[in-house]
Homo-oligomer: A and B are copies of this chain.
Amino acid sequence: MKKVSTPQHPSARERRDAGQTMKVAVFVKPGRIALQEKPIPTVGPRDALLRVTTTTICGTDIHILKGEYPVAPGLTVGHEPVGVIEELGAAVTGYEIGQRVIAGAITPCGQCHSCLDGTHSQCGGRAMGGWRLGNTIDGCQAEFVLIPDAQANLAPIPDHLTDEQVLMCPDIMSTGFGGAESGHIRIGDTVVVFAQGPIGLCATVGAKLAGATRIFTVDALPERLEMSRRLGADVTLNFKETDPVAAILEATGGRGVDVAIEALGTQPTFESCLRVLRPGGVLSSLGVYSGKLTLPLDAFAAGLGDHTIATTLCPGGKERMRRLMNVLASERADLRPLVTHRFKLEDIEKAYDLFANQRDGVLKIAVTP
């Protein structure tokens, strides 16, 4: 891997030595994420320090903002880093300072029982254990971020791909594609994706890449449905105008879909997935549910329909990132249209305000420190 020359910045070390701090977006309390200053972290043997060049805000960050997903007050948020290697821990090999890299939102260790068993997202055997950045350790809505278990998680960016091109890899592309993969989509399948927010749109792209030949997508926002069609949907359904369950059953001659992907996390979308799913089909669930989730027993054939319900967090690790960047490098998909807005890190509070309120047709925001 060759060293990538980058525009001159004072190094993290120089800034630390000069007693300087860095800007970070911190969860203060429910309802408030604020820009603050923190010391620039120092690397342990298995870490890498990245200078963040681009990052973004995730729907999960909004759950954190609203206090719906609890994190420790004072935590730096953000889990979608694009950056440049500033410092490498003593045990990390094969990388160079200055290399452009991404890391997944999920940063598995690769060496615990769960990881060695292929369940990297649940690292350490704990539910969501692989999700550390912006959850259990400081995240990347910051000038610098420490990547844990860097050996397993730093993925070099091909030279000809820009930051914005790969910005979706760490989370929404991996999650959305994961939904298609967990659905075990086969060539010739009919698929539906309920909700066409950023993750649902990526699920649509993933379903097409995996061989689905008829893709229904469902949302209420015309611009999202239009983006959905642009990214691969064959039939878009606005649930404010049409009953999507009836429409899909009719369009499939009563057969239903082979795979139904849930990309929102609500009772109605989950339930609709089951109602359009053929016996023997797979409900691939990506949503984060809250409150109560009930299985409609009629659609579920009382448990006798040979249905499978698969949930997927967000596959991480550098091999996953490499594969996703392959998709972009080969131009099999182009996710740049998802970046609808751009903000400076200094203005991240405004970015949160825009994103949390879904104003101005926002899909994803590129944030640059």
Complex contact B265–A303 (CB within 8 A): yes
- Asked if A238 is at the interface (CB within 8 A of a chain B CB), the reply is no
Q: For A111, list chain B residues within 8 Å (CB).
A: 109-111, 149, 151-152
CA distance A326 to B209 in the complex (A): 15
Report chain B residues within 8 Å CB of A308.
308-311
Partner of A294, one of B116, B290, B295: B295
| 9 intermolecular pairs with C-beta atoms under 8 Å apart | A108-B116, A109-B110, A110-B115, A119-B306, A122-B306, A210-B211, A288-B303, A289-B302, A293-B303
Once the chains bind, are A213 and B329 in contact (CB under 8 Å)?
Answer: yes
**Once the chains are docked, how many angstroms separate the CA of A46 from the CA of B110?**
13
Q: How many copies of this protein are present in the complex?
A: 4
- Residues of B within 8 Å of A116, CB to CB, are 108, 110, 120, 152, 317-320
A337 proximity list for chain B (CB < 8 A):
none
Chain A positions 130 through 156: 1 when the CB is less than 8 Å from some CB of chain B, otherwise 0? 000000000000000000010110000
Report whether A125 and B279 are in contact in the complex, using a CB–CB cutoff of 8 Å: yes
Q: Does A285 touch B at the CB level, under 8 Å?
A: yes
**Nearest neighbor of A178 in chain B, beta-carbon distance:** B306
Cross-interface CB contact of A305 among B127, B290, B322, cutoff 8 Å: B127
Closest partner residue, chain B, to A155 (CB atom)? B113
Query: Is A126 an interface residue, CB under 8 A from the partner?
Result: yes
* Contact B306 A309, beta carbon cutoff 8 Å: no
Instruction: Say how far A277's CB is from chain B's closest CB, in angstroms.
Output: 10
Please name the residue on chain B nearest to A331 by beta carbon: B213
